[in-house]
Amino acid sequence: MSVSVQQADFDIGAEIDALLAGRTDVGAVATFTGLVRDVNDGSGVHAMTLEHYPGMTEAALEDIVAQAKARWDILAVRVIHRVGTLQPADRIVLVVVAGSHRGEAFAACEFIMDYLKTQAPFWKREDTPEGSRWVDARESDDSAAERWKQGG
Amino acid sequence: MSVSVQQADFDIGAEIDALLAGRTDVGAVATFTGLVRDVNDGSGVHAMTLEHYPGMTEAALEDIVAQAKARWDILAVRVIHRVGTLQPADRIVLVVVAGSHRGEAFAACEFIMDYLKTQAPFWKREDTPEGSRWVDARESDDSAAERWKQGG
Amino acid sequence: MKIKVLYFAALREALGSPGETIELPESATTLAAVRALIAGRGGDWDKLAQMKNLRAAVNQRMAEPDAAVADGDEVAFFPPVTGG
Amino acid sequence: MKIKVLYFAALREALGSPGETIELPESATTLAAVRALIAGRGGDWDKLAQMKNLRAAVNQRMAEPDAAVADGDEVAFFPPVTGG
């Protein structure tokens, strides 16, 4: 249950509480939440639809979490990614990493987001005043994922 | 109200919601929560007391937030640090950074924690089976803060 | 041999199809060969050849053009991912 | 000239005092001079001289030993901080 792909919204505080329930060994919790912005690449965005590849998506996210756990000494991870149609200010993705110390929790959380952005099969389509358009992948996302390969 | 020093616990979800209220320009929220662990430096910890320097603490935290805002293009920041006596699993500190993009939100959040650890006048005393002891500052905290000076 | 092929996002729209089951000749044993075979039908299918930065998966794992494709596999073609 | 001096955490306990108001001679114009003056009382006060990695603030801002101290200032001495 460390990974979920769902239409429903999520409650960040409740997810953190569930991950920490009964534990007294966690000293550091890093989280990342991605939200729908009302502007992207210079156009207004009034809705966004997230398509995914059922089955592969969950497997890719589990694999990213396993890589993070192999690489850093962390205690627990939760990843939730929404699909379907979302409005500005809606939550899209949540990553929570619990660890003993902050350096590892931060690094693993950022690593998971960077890999998710390039390895997990989700695609965004934005509705703008100029019509509907598929979001282009950013080169900056590739380079963000790439830097983890250099022993960082 | 971006900085609070208080005895009371905080609600992470409610703090994020308050920071984002009415905004549709935030794409990324990075948070860090520090918790009391039941073990530190090989001893069991059954309680911790946080002392601070009233007045200077708030000023130091505001200054750290201002430095983060000057350095990264971020939209909103919230810092809460508790004082008084805490038990294992209790929350100690919360940093929330909202920005347009994830790289800046992550960097600013980690920067604030690293600087807080070396610049904000808080001191921890732990109660262990061997008695009460003041926590020693870690060299790793100094080096974590130091790396931000090298144009990182 | 038979494989399942899936298309996603902008590619799915361009091809007008979410996917299909196709019969492969013995000679088509890699992802690149499957791509060429489908694009070779002409018409809209040529978009599969034209799409820049096309990504692919075999049995739900990201795969390179030289990845092996065997009977019963699930192959997917799609644009670079943009989640998060 | 008069200044307020505060002690925190392990230093406060070692000195047995949270702080005091002291009268400074004209010659004591830096943090280092204030520290030496207080430590020079002997007894427990010597701990102020002995403490490794002593940190200090002038008017609630972190300050180095050569920082200027003037009439009415609030000076604080304390161990390295350990919050977060």
3-state secondary structure of A56: helix
Cα–Cα dist A152/B2, whole Å: 32
Residue-wise pLDDT for B110-149, tens only, equals 999 999 999 999 999 999 999 999 999 888 888 899 999 8
ipTM: 0.94
Residue-wise pLDDT for A61-116, tens only, equals 999 999 999 999 999 999 999 999 999 999 999 999 999 999 999 999 999 999 99
Q: Could you tell me if B38 lies within 8 Å of chain A, comparing CB atoms?
A: yes
Interchain pair B89, A14: CB under 8 A = no
Which pLDDT score is estimated for A151?
A: 59
Its pTM stands at 0.95
Which pLDDT score is estimated for B77?
A: 98
Interchain pair B102, A32: CB under 8 A = yes
Three-point CA angle B105, B123, B63, nearest 5°: 40
Residue-wise pLDDT for A13-63, tens only, equals 999 999 999 999 999 999 999 999 999 888 899 999 999 999 999 999 999
Helix axis angle, A12-20 relative to B12-20, nearest 10°? 160
Which of A6, A33, A40, A56 is best to mutate for the C interface (most C CBs within 10 A)? A56
Q: Could you tell me if B109 lies within 8 Å of chain A, comparing CB atoms?
A: yes
Place D80 in a pLDDT band, splitting at 50, 70 and 90: very high
Residue-wise pLDDT for B32-64, tens only, equals 999 999 998 888 999 999 999 999 999 999 999
**Residues of chain D above pLDDT 70, percent:** 100
Average pLDDT, chain D: 96
Which pLDDT score is estimated for D52?
A: 84
Interchain pair A32, B27: CB under 8 A = no
Across the range A125-141, mean pLDDT stands at 91
Contact A57, A65 (CB under 8 A): no
Interchain pair A29, B38: CB under 8 A = no
Three-point CA angle A129, A131, A133, nearest 5°: 120
Residues 50-69 of C with CB under 8 A from A: 53, 57, 60-62
Interchain pair B16, A16: CB under 8 A = no
